[in-house]
Amino acid sequence: MDALAPLTFLPLRFSRNPMAYTIDAVADSPNRAGLAYYLTLKKPKTYGSGDYDELITLPGREFPPRTELGATIYPGASFDVGVFIDDFLRSTAPVVGQTGIVTCGDMITPYLTRTWVEQDGVPVAGTDKTLALEYAIKGALSVEQFAGWRDQFFTTFLAQSRQFLTWQPSEKWVDTVQPEFLYYLVNFTPKPAELRLRIDIVYDDASTETITAQRMTTVSQYVVYGIPVGFVALGLPEREAATGRVVHAYSVWMANESNQRLSEVRTYYVNRDFDANVVYLLFRNSLGGYDTLRCTGQTSRTLAVSGTDGQRALDPSYLPTTAELFKKNRIAERTLTVATGLRDGDQLDYLTELVLSEDLFVVTQEGFVALSLPDSADTVLALRSDDEDLAGRVLTFRYAKNEVAYSNLPSPPTAPARPTRWLPTNPFCLIDSNGLRTGYLGAAKLELRYADDGSLVKPLRSKANVAGTEGYTPAVLSSACTTTPFVNSAVQQAGSYKRNNCGADQDATVALLTIPAGIYGAETAAQLQSRIDQALKVMDTQAYANQYGSCLANPAGYSYNVPVNHWHYRGNSPSRLGIETSGAPYMGNAWTMQGQGGSFIYPTGSNDLNFPSTDFNPDQWRLFTTGTAGASARLRLFRNGDLYLDKTFVFNPDGYEYHGLFTKTNGSSLTVASMDKLYVQLLDL
């Protein structure tokens, strides 16, 4: 484990607790009824901006003076600005499939406070003050504990505990598919140049491994970062596959660029036992982070259907199918009742977080589905009673959307998360749909765009350049925008699809994707590459491959300069084929070989591989094929162009199948000699 870094922590204020300010009274005013007190809040125009706009101005009156022990006390005027700051802040909920550290730019804001007093509408001299810059975070402490910790939580408690923004136990059991997230606040000096998520992995054979799983190279002060720490998000399934070991537990912490530990250490034990009923509830906790509650009790759902009743007059010639009474606009309010399963006493009290959360989801195959609690009067949580060391609770939630229909579809298609980036506000040249400049100069806006093709992330997050709004600039003709800085030259790139209409004795090739010169343009080389990548992605289809791909005759008789005392392997579908040895010395390119030592270990999906022909053992080699579960395929194996195995098979329920690499059709084994060339042909039927 990394050594702890010495840090000095900086203060913040909770926006969901009272944020009180008191303006001193004007004690010598002869007309107290004419005194008016004012407080103005100012916030940054945008995240990271140094320009501040007025958020709100609050008027107030002073508390009446009172006499204590013969002295007159002037309390002044008090303001609680928490509700206004909190309404401006936004939590950053995790997203399905999140795998990297995310900046939560709207969870914290700096703000300025200005106060002054007026007497009968005239400012009182010496009362106009702008207070020191402060920072507020969207979160809260309990009512009782806030009284003692309001000024000490961020400076004293976090300095001692180094806690993430959560009240979950520091040790937790998680399923392999369970989404888990931690939120980390940077409010200390020295500010790290880099944030690293470090993991200490404990395998079932008691061996350990410490790695850096994620990095954030741009770190800002007073910013919260969201970190996915689930089993899948950390890439632990791939780690198990590469090492051949099973992960028993893992611990996580944040570190700086020197691998000095910044945070507490949280440990997750991997649960692989079967539970008949498992529901994951994801919710925003009191500190602004998001916790996952694993519920193992029975669940139930209900529908309360409502609609509009109507009646129409019957035509004298009505039919049996004619309706006089009818219902329209049928909608259903859905409820979900969840039994938490058995929990110890402290975890029963922790359920308070769940019922007080304002942002709640249930994890389903469709993603994170929003929930809400029923009416407040109907929500009762029994806290831990005396000597209640192991118990459960039953909670009822309401789906945050009314149901309007029924359907029964499988999980939607998944796609890897696309990287995004913010484009800053700057003057820019208007371009056409292909990125070529049009000759007009306009005003840019801050937009979140996908990094690969420059398209907008939806829902749109930007400040639009709209007429009538502050800073609007209409587009004008400009000589600076007549020439596009970067225009593509001719592009040729192999696609990912092969022809699927070749003959039985032919091998299909991938189509060559081609873009003529001068079709696409951009302001930077990176943007141009993104446009080209997007164009190639759109072009890369099966139809394109069938039109422009080739069919090769006698692919098994290929030519290759094989080194002496080696044999050569080539396959027609490298991404779906892998070869491996069943024992030492380990050789091959299958996923089971990754991480094994040796001179003949190749990456998965690689092709045209050489292996030693000395000490050759045909029974040691296996061929790994992947495809669609339950689908039929044909496998043909050739040596030096001669067919020695031809068989059909069905992929198992997991979508793969093993074969003897050197097994002949008659069941005997093939022996290879120096400079032999092997060819594997996999065809879907």
Amino acid of residue 625: T
The pTM of the full predicted model, rounded to 2 decimals, is 0.62
For residue 223, the SS3 value is: strand
pLDDT recorded at residue 471: 40
Checking if the pLDDT of 450 tops 50, the result is: yes
Bridge partners, residue 304, by sequence: 333
With cut-offs at 50, 70 and 90, classify the pLDDT of residue 280: very high
Amino acid of residue 568: H
Interior/surface letters 157-190, b for 16+ CB within 10 angstroms, e for the rest: ebeeebbbbbbbeeebebbeebbbbbbbbbbbee
Per the listing, tokens 């303006």 go with: 23
What span, in angstroms and rounded, lies between the C-alpha atoms of 113 and 21? Answer: 9
Checking if the pLDDT of 426 tops 70, the result is: no
With cut-offs at 50, 70 and 90, classify the pLDDT of residue 451: confident
Checking if the pLDDT of 421 tops 80, the result is: no
Q: Please, is 476 exposed, middle or buried when counting C-beta atoms within 10 Å of its C-beta (0-12, 13-18, 19+)? A: exposed
With cut-offs at 50, 70 and 90, classify the pLDDT of residue 599: confident
Q: Please give the structure tokens belonging to residue 609.
A: 């591989």
Mean confidence (pLDDT) of the chain: 86
Closest by CA position to 568, among listed 603, 604, 606, 596: 606
What span, in angstroms and rounded, lies between the C-alpha atoms of 43 and 56? Answer: 9
> Are 624 and 649 within 8 A, CB to CB?
no
pLDDT recorded at residue 470: 37
- Sheet bearing 181-186, strands edge to edge: 102-104, 223-228, 181-186
The CA distances from residue 142 to 146, 147, 283, 285, in Å, are: 6, 9, 17, 12
Pairing label, strands 52-60, 35-44: antiparallel
What span, in angstroms and rounded, lies between the C-alpha atoms of 489 and 407? Answer: 49
Checking if the pLDDT of 526 tops 60, the result is: no
pLDDT recorded at residue 425: 47
Average pLDDT value for residue range 48-56? 69
DSSP at 153? I
Strand ranges in 147-217 using DSSP code E only, listed in sequence order: 171-175, 181-186, 188-189, 195-203, 208-216
Q: Looking at 192-201, 478-487, 526-535, 589-598, which range is the least confident one?
A: 526-535
What span, in angstroms and rounded, lies between the C-alpha atoms of 677 and 642? Answer: 10
Closest by CA position to 283, among listed 178, 186, 169, 359: 359
Checking if the pLDDT of 473 tops 90, the result is: no
Checking if the pLDDT of 442 tops 80, the result is: no
pLDDT recorded at residue 443: 61
